[in-house]
């Protein structure tokens, strides 16, 4: 057995910024984000990919960072909750969660926002059934789910109008 963990150099992009770091091979991506990069917006709750709190996007696709090894994300483009707002200007999904009571304690919210944003990027006008199927892997223990569904519908409307505006 080794006393110093085996390390591997990881080069990846997080929220548009390139990073290079030597990490122990057992480091999960969520730990890398939180402890190595200080990006503590991404939460770890269930640790087995079930609850959705650690949701990020990996090369544009929603993924669970607690069951992704940091070394496995070598070369990837990662987006976290910290990259969603544009400076002080919140993303329409974030605005919608505030306006519609989409969170209370906030522990699940970064994951809910990342999942909702990924949904609206893939399906800009989802039906309620599509919202429920997509979001069923993001658990919330206080607000409940209807306000989250309302938030997503509101964000879809705002983003749809914005997209129509840019076309005109």
Instruction: Summarize as ranges the residues that interact with other proteins (CB under 8 A).
Output: 2, 5-6, 8, 24-26, 28, 47-50, 52, 55, 58, 61-64, 67-69, 71-72, 74-75, 115, 133-134, 136-137
Angle at 130 between CA 66 and CA 73, to 5 degrees: 25
- Residue closer to other proteins (CB basis): 135 or 154: 135
Q: Please, what is the minimum distance in Å from the beta carbon of residue 139 to other proteins?
A: 9
Q: Please, what is the minimum distance in Å from the beta carbon of residue 134 to other proteins?
A: 5
- Residue closer to other proteins (CB basis): 129 or 164: 129
Burial class (CB in 10 A: 0-12, 13-18, 19+), 18: exposed
- Residue closer to other proteins (CB basis): 61 or 161: 61
Q: Please, what is the minimum distance in Å from the beta carbon of residue 152 to other proteins?
A: 14
- Residue closer to other proteins (CB basis): 26 or 35: 26
Q: Which residue matches tokens 């890398």?
A: 32
Separation of alpha carbons 10 and 48, rounded Å: 23
Q: Please, what is the minimum distance in Å from the beta carbon of residue 89 to other proteins?
A: 27
């Amino acid at each position: 057995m080794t006393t110093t963990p085996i390390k591997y150099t990881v080069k990846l992009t997080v929220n548009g910024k390139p990073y290079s770091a030597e990490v122990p091979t057992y480091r999960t991506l969520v730990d890398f984000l939180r402890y190595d990069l200080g990006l503590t917006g991404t939460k770890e709750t269930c640790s087995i990919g079930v609850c959705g709190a650690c949701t990020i996007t990996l090369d544009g696709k929603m993924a669970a960072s607690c069951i992704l090894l940091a070394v496995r994300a070598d070369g990837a483009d990662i987006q976290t909750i910290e990259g969603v707002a544009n400076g002080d200007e919140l993303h329409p999904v974030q605005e919608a969660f505030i306006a519609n009571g989409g969170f209370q304690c906030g522990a699940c919210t970064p994951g809910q926002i990342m999942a909702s944003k990924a949904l609206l990027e893939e399906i800009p006008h989802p039906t309620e059934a599509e919202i429920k199927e997509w979001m069923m892997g993001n658990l919330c223990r206080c607000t409940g789910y209807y306000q989250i569904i309302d938030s997503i519908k509101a964000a879809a409307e705002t983003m749809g109008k914005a997209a129509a505006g840019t076309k005109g």
